[in-house]
Structure 1
Amino acid sequence: MSSTPVVRPSYAAVLRIPYARRTFAAALLGRLSYGIVPLSVMLAVTRASGSYAVAGVVMALFSGTSVFLSPARAALIDRHGPRRALVPMAAAYTALLGLLTVTVWHPGAASPLVLGTVTAAAGACTPPLGPTMRALWGRLAADRALVQRAYSLDAVAEELLFVSGPLLVGVVVGFAPPALGIVVGAVLIAAGTAGFVASPPVRDLAPGHAKARARGKSRRRVLRGIGRPVIAAAGVGLALGAVELLVVAFVEGRGHGSDSVAWVLAAMSAGSAVGGLANGAFAWRISAGLRLPLLAAGLGTALLGAGLAPGLGTLASAMAVAGLFVAPAITTAYLIADEAAAPEARVQAGAWVNTAVNAGGTAGTAAAGLLVGRLSTGWCFAVTGAVTLLAAVAVARGATRDRGAPEEDTVGEVGDGGAVRAA
C-alpha cells in the first residue's frame, strides 16, 4: 500500500513551490533599489547643493515619507490588490526619481526647496515590495513550517541586499556622477515590480476590500494582535540604530581607522545572516509568541556584553553574537503579525512591523547621539541593551495577556503545535 511522501520543510522546498523562485527573484530585483537609491540620493544632493545640511534635510524628508507612509501604501495593496496599486506606485516613484536625477545632474541647478519637494514625493510613492512579498509567502507556502523558512530566507536575502546596494553605488561613483546611481535604482524598481506583478500568484491575487466589507470588520479589527510584534520590531530597530553610531564612537575613541567600523558592522550582519538561516532551519517546539521576547532579550543581553568589550576584536565578537538574534527576531515579528492580522490586511501588518524597525532605528541613532557626548561607549551599549530588554519584557507581558484573552477575540494565533489561521 503506497503513501504520499512527506516533504520535509527546507529552504529547497520553499524554492520548489510553484512560481516561488520567479516571484521572489523579481521582488528581490526591485528591492535591491532600496539599498542603492538612498545613498545615491545623499551623494548626488550633496554634490548638487554643496551642503551637507541640505543633504541631511533632504534625506530626512525622503526617509520620513517612505517609512511613515508605508502602512498607508500597504493598505492600498490590501484594498485594491498588488497589480492595481503597485504599478501606479512604481510608475510614480520611477518618474520622480527620473526628475530628481535631472535636478541634481548639474551642481547648483536646483534650489533646496525643489530638491526637498521631489525627494519627499518620491519617498511617499515607494512601492512596498517587501511587505507584499512577505504577505504572498503566506499564500504560496503549504504550511506554517514552510512559511517560517520562507520568511527567514526573505530576511537573509534582504540583509544581503542592503549590504550589496551601497557597494554597487561605490562602483558607480567610481566612474560616473552619483546621480547615475539614482537611475540604476529607478530601473531596478521598474523591472522588479513589472516582473513581480506579472507572476501568476500575484496576478491572480484578488483585492481584499470585498472580503473586509463582507465580514463587516473595522480596520482596528483586521489589524488586531500586531502590537507585540510592532513593539519587538521597534526595540530591535532602536538597538540597530544606536549600535551603528556607538561602533563609530568606540572605534574613533580608541584611535582605530574608519575602515574598522565596516568590519565590526559586517560581523553583526554576518551573525544576523547565520542566525536567520538557523532560525528557519530549526524545528521549533515553542510558539512564535514565546520565542519573540526571548530573541529580543538575547539581543539586549548581547549588547550589555558589548559594553564590557575592552578592544576591537572583542567588540566585533560581541556584535556577531548580537547579530545572531536580529534576523530571527524580525522574522518572528513578521510571522506573528501575518498570523494575527486578517487575510485582507496582511500587507498592512507587515508594513507596520517594517515601519517599527525603521522608526526605531531613527530614534536609536538620535538617542545614541545624545548619549555619546555624556557617557562612555560602554555605558551607552549598556543603556541600549537595557532598553532592548525592556522591550522584550513588554512583549512577554503582552503574550501573557493574550494567552488569557477570550478565544473569540483572536483573529489568528500561533499555538504550541503550529498555527491556526482565520478563514
Structure 2
Amino acid sequence: MVRYRAFLALPGVWLVFSAATLARLSYATLVLSQLLTVQAATGSYAAAGTALGVYGITSFTMPAKARLLDTNGPRRLLPLLSTLLALALTGLAVAAGSTVTSPLVYLAGAGVAGLVAPPIGPTTRAVWARLTLGPAARQRAYSLDAVVESGLFAAGPVLAAALAHAATPATALASTAAAHLPGSLVLATSPLLTRPARSAPEHPGEQRSDAPAVQVGTPAPGDQAGPRPDAAPAARLRRVLGPLTRPGYAVLLVFTFAIGLGNDPLEVAVVACGQQQASAAASGLLLAVLSLSAAVGGLGWGHLVGTAHGRRLSEASPWSVLAALAALTSIAAAVAALVPGLAWLTVTLVVVGAASAPVAVVVYTAADRFSALDGGSEATTWVNTATNLGASLGTAGAGVLIDVHGTASAFWAGAGFTAAGAVGAWSYRLRARLADRA
C-alpha cells in the first residue's frame, strides 16, 4: 500500500507537486479574472463572454500541445508555452490598464492565450503514472491529484474576485500570469519530467500490472506472414490520431463529455437555488460543500484502493465502476430537482461531490492504460478536453434552462446527462463481456 505521505516523500515528487499546484492555480483564477478584466475595459458582458469563448475554443489545442511535449520533451517546450501564456495575459492586463476599449484587442489576446496554454495537469499526471507501479498506487496518486485540483478550482475564483475587489480586475489577471510562469518553469526543470516515458521496473522481476498485453510493435495474430498491403496507411493514421484509434477510448471520451455536460448544470443550478431561497452567501456555502465533499471523496477513494475491498474494486471493470458512480450522481441530481429546500440540496451536493473525484480518478486511470502504449500525456489531455467541452456547453445551457423553465430544469438536465453516461458505460461493459464470451 502506498500512502499519501510516502508518495510525497519520493525523491523529487514534492517539488513537482508544489510547482504544478502553483501553475494550475493560475488556470483556476484565469477565467474569472479574464472575464472581469474584459468587462471592465469594454463595458460589455457580451465582449467578455465572447473573449472567454475564444479562449475556450483555442484551448482545445491541448492534445496537440501534449503530443509536442511527449515528442520533444518538456524542458524546452513547456517554458516556451508558459512564457507566451504569461505574456498574453500580461498584455491583456496592460491593455485594460491603458484604457483600451476595443473588443478585438481582447479577443485576439484571449485567442493567443488559449493557443499557447500548456497542459500542466496531464503533464503532471504522466509523472505520477511513471512513479507508480500498480493500479492501487496509481489511483492513490490520482486521488491526491484530483483533490488538489478540485480545491484549486474552488479557491481560484474566490481569490480572483478578492484581488479584483482589492485592486482592479487587471491586477487579478496580471497576478494569474505571475503565478503561472514560475510554477511552470520550476516544473520543467524537474528530472522527473525528463525520464523515459515508460521506465523499466526498478527491481528484477517486477512488472506493471496495468501494462498492455500486446506491446507496440508486437505482431497481432495472423500478421506473422508479413505486413498487410494497407499496414503502412493504417500505421500513419494511428500516428496522426494517436489514442483516438484505440478500441474503447472514444467511448471513454464520450463518457467524460457527458459527465462534464451533466455536472456543470448542477453548479449553475446550485448558485441560482441559493440566490432564490436565501442569498448569494448561501450559494457560496453550497459550492463550498460541493468542493469539500469532492475533496473528502477523493481522499476516501485513495484510501479505499489500498484496502482489501479496494483491491477487489480495482479488479472490477472500470466501466462498471464509472457506471455506478455516474448513476449515483444522476439520482442525487434528480432528488435535488424533486425536493425543494436548502437542507435536502446540501445532502445531494455531498453525494454529488463525493462521487465526482472518484469518477476523475477512475477515468484518468483508464486513460493511462491507453497512454501505456506510448507513455505520453496525450490520452489524459483528450480526457481533459472532452470534460471541458462538456462543461462549457453545460454551463451555457443551464443558464438558458433556468431563465426559461426554472432551477429544477437544470437539475433534471444534469441528472439526464449523467444517467446517459452511466447507461453508455454499462452498455459498453456488457458489449465487451459478450465479445469475450464469443
Q: Same fold (TM over 0.5)?
A: yes
Distance in 1, matches of 2:272 and 2:174, equals 34
Deviation at 1:102, TM superposition (A): 1.4
How far off its partner does 1:335 sit? 0.8
1:105-137 deviation per Cα after TM superposition (whole angstroms, max 9, x unaligned): 133x24111110111111111111101111111
In the superposition, relative to structure 1, how do residues 235 and 78 fare at CA in structure 2: closer, same or farther (>3 Å)? same
**Does 2:84 match 1:92?**
yes
Letter in 1 for 2:2: P
From 29, 50, 62, the equivalent of 2:43 is 50
Helix, strand or coil for the counterpart of 2:295? helix
Distance 1:143 1:168, change over 3 A: same
Q: Which moved more, 1:239-248 or 1:150-159?
A: 239-248
Aligned pairs (5 A) from 1:41-190? 41-66=34-59, 68-107=60-99, 109-190=100-181
The amino acid of 1:349's aligned partner reads: A
* Equivalent position of 1:239 in the other structure: 262
Q: 1:24-423 residue pairs with structure 2 within 5 A?
A: 24-66=17-59, 68-107=60-99, 109-205=100-196, 218-219=238-239, 220=241, 222-223=243-244, 224=246, 225-254=248-277, 256-283=278-305, 284=310, 285-286=312-313, 287=316, 288-344=318-374, 346-404=376-434
Give me the whole-angstrom Cα distance separating, in 2, the residues matched to 1:134 and 1:302: 29
Deviation at 1:195, TM superposition (A): 0.9
* Partner secondary structure for residue 259 of structure 2: helix
SS state of the match for residue 395, structure 1? helix
The alignment's TM-score, normalised by the length of structure 1, stands at 0.87
**2:221 aligned residue:** none
The whole-number CA distance in structure 2 between the counterparts of 1:35 and 1:73 is 20
Q: Could you give the per-residue CA deviations for residues 251-309 of structure 1, whole angstroms, max 9, x where no partner exists?
A: 3443x212211111211111111111111110321333321111111111111111122
Distance 2:109 2:433 in 1: 47
Do the aligned residues in 1 keep the contact of 2:146 with 2:361 (CA within 8 Å)? yes
On the 8 A contact 2:198/2:375 being kept in 1, the answer is: no
Task: Name the SS for the 1:263 alignment partner.
Answer: helix
* Contact map agreement 2:264 2:394 (CA 8 A) in 1: yes
Aligned Cα root-mean-square deviation (Å):
2.4
Q: Find the counterpart in structure 1 of residue 204 from structure 2.
A: none
**8 Å contact from structure 1 (residues 276, 328) kept in 2:** yes
Name the CA shift for 1:382/1:52 in 2 (closer, same or farther; >3 Å): closer
Distance 2:411 2:197 in 1: 47
Please, which moves more after superposition, 109-118 or 371-380?
A: 371-380
AA paired with 1:53? A
Residue 338 of structure 2 aligns to a residue whose secondary structure is: coil
Identity, % of aligned pairs? Answer: 36
Residue correspondences, number: 394
Q: Which runs of 5+ in 1 are unaligned?
A: 1-7, 408-423
Q: Distance in 1 between matches of 2:376 and 2:101?
A: 40
Question: What's the offset of the Cα at 1:64?
Answer: 2.1
Equivalent position of 1:16 in the other structure: 9
Aligned partners of 1:17 and 1:141 also within 8 Å: no
Structure 2 letter corresponding to 1:294 = A
